[in-house]
Structure 1
Amino acid sequence: MAEIKKSGIITICGRPNVGKSTLTNALVGEKVAIVTNKPQTTRNRICGVRTRGESQFVFVDTPGLHKARTRLGDYMVNVVKESVADVDAVMLLVEPIPNVGGPEEQLIARMKKLSCPAVLVINKVDTLDKKEKLLEVIQTYEQVHQFQAVVPISAKTGEGVDELLDVLESYLPQGPQLFPEDMTSDQPERQMMAEILREKLLLCLDKEIPHGTAVEITRFAERDDEVVEVEATIYCEKNSHKGIIIGKGGSMLKKVSTLARQDMERFMGTKVYLQTWVKVKENWRDNPAAIQNFGYKGDKA
């Protein structure tokens, strides 16, 4: 392994559902952040680590900047704003639409104050029927901010991801290795198990119900036969939601748990024995103690 000579922290920011977690996983080379097609999937700041040659990148995946409606929403917005500070570069991830919206304007204003290198990353270029539309998007954004670089990509297909890494490498300062070379995330395994289960709730449930869920891992232990035992409690905000999460004869909870267990086994590289329960904790998203208890600490990112 080459000696690390450059290392740095790079934040990925943007509006909800623009593809930040998909891009984080593509840049790291494996799944470190949960991904769904629902906004506000990411609640916490997640670090993905990529060691390439003599460089180590630390990517900070953040929640989408949105209008907060709960205390949890306030926390998520605060995470975004703080994650743009004290970093070596910022990527503003946008869709290929020639319009600068409110969330983008707020993030650009933050970047201007901090004066750190900013890269405009135009995602979902695989959805464009005419590539000339890219020029329109670039010109629109160049009118509001002078980005150091503009890179069109598709986080989903991987198009442009290597070129983006090359661009970002030029902004890494001289510095030592920040994480062990085989490490891809700063998330503890226990937290990753909770996030995987929450991802499956978001994928399987409709409307507001999955956004009102939280997952607590109450047991995480490795047996002598290398099977990992995971016990998890899913919290929701209403009794009616509890019935929907469990499903008729337990069918929905079984489906969610099976999908989660399969992903947990891929992540851990071993068999996982998963047990899940569902409990009601009314209005937990507006309860500071509950928010903190579920791992959203509210400390500076």
Structure 2
Amino acid sequence: MTPIQWTQNEASIPKEAIQDQMTKIFKDPVFVESEILKRFLVFIVNETLNGRANCLKEYTIAVGVLGKPANFKPSENGIVRIHAGRLRRALDDYYHHADIANTVYISIPKGKYVPEFSTTTKSDSTGTFAPVASLSRKSSNSSYIGHPNMVVAVLPFTYQKNNDLLESFTNGLTMQLSSALMHFESICVIAPQAITSLLSRTSDIRELATNSGADIVITGHLQYAGDRIRTNIQIIRTSNYQQMWCELHETSLTKSSIFKVQDEIVGITVSKFENASAESWMRQAGSVVMAAV
């Protein structure tokens, strides 16, 4: 199926047409359900239209859109990149499913926060578009472009017992990872409380998956010596115990740096979902998708 052809004529597009297009986009279910995506798009579009595109940096978006404090440090928190990825995929998905003949196309190039504008022409005479799979949309009947949502369970990381610092660290890490993954609208995250209850009855991953419906498990192990913590992070496919990804993260850990270290580990883990297409993750998890991004 022939893809959409975009005609680049940004300079000739009136501001009013771009604003009207945003109004249409906001009627899409993904945007109706996400105030953050709407605020993000409005902010970067208005800043660009008002000649302040050079001010669209990770820090200004964090403060202006996400309400982060003035001491926010982008290098230590990837939340802006996470939401930018969500917005980029949501826009791509919208244009591949909406009736967009002779309309304004708003896009966000990868690695950038400044939107680009163009008009569209439809090259496919049938009036239909190639289906696209990404980690962005969840429909009302809990299906995603012909296949189930990916169900993820975050297991508490194992650690040396009788250590209050590690207990506090891993409890917070579990909650933070679960919360971060919920930003992907095609991922269903099992409540940590439910996982804790299941783990009280079994430690077998396949049995846990059977009882919870999890396709993927995120877990790991903590080692602590002196003020150094070594975290082995794992993403495991539940159907056959295949380790799909792992990474070793080592840094110092004190009571005052708990949040910082948690943010680092969450950022590393979530980036694997942000950078992967739905096809690659679903294929590895044993599901079939219609097409690749």
TM superposition score category, shorter chain reference:
under 0.3
How does the TM-score come out when normalised to structure 2?
Answer: 0.28
How does the TM-score come out when normalised to structure 1?
Answer: 0.27
Higher share in helix: 2
Larger radius of gyration: 2
